Amino acid sequence: MSDRTGLAVAGEVCLPTYPVWERALKQVVVAGEHRPPYHLDLSALTFIDVAGVTDLAVAAQGLADGQRLVLEGPPPAMTRLLELFWPDLSAIEVSTP
């Protein structure tokens, strides 16, 4: 992402892609320490399972106070899972087009 600090995610987050997703989230937490907010462009994400959303929530919980992740164009199922299981997670902001 050339215009802001962040990462674009495409495809699926599921069992075969967990190692890549987890490494990316670790980098997000480290980068977020220095340049908040950190943007995740999820507009090309076609599928994410509950474990993938859980990894995202855990990463967000690991951010320092005042830091946040901005989710741009997340799949509706992802947004719903975040609302159901982590309704008070203030480190995540959902931005829809």
CA-nearest of 69, 77, 78 to 27 is 69
| Each residue's pLDDT tens digit, 34-82 | 666 889 999 999 999 999 999 999 999 988 888 889 999 999 999 999 9
pLDDT at 14 over 90: yes
CATH number reported for the structural domain that contains residue 59 in this entry: 3.30.750.24
Considering its fold, how many domains does the chain have in total? 1
Residue 45's pLDDT is what?
97
Whether the predicted pLDDT of 83 surpasses 60: yes
Cβ-count burial 36-59 (b if 16+ within 10 Å, e if not): bbbbbbbeebeebbeebbebbbeb
Half-sphere exposure of 75 (CA within 13 A, CB side): 17
71 domain residue, yes or no = yes
Q: Is 5 helix (H, G, I), strand (E, B) or coil?
A: coil
Query: Would you say residue 32 has pLDDT above 60?
Result: no
Type of residue at 38: Y
Could you list the residue range(s) of the whole structural domain that residue 44 is in?
Answer: 9-22+36-95
Report pLDDT for 4.
Answer: 75
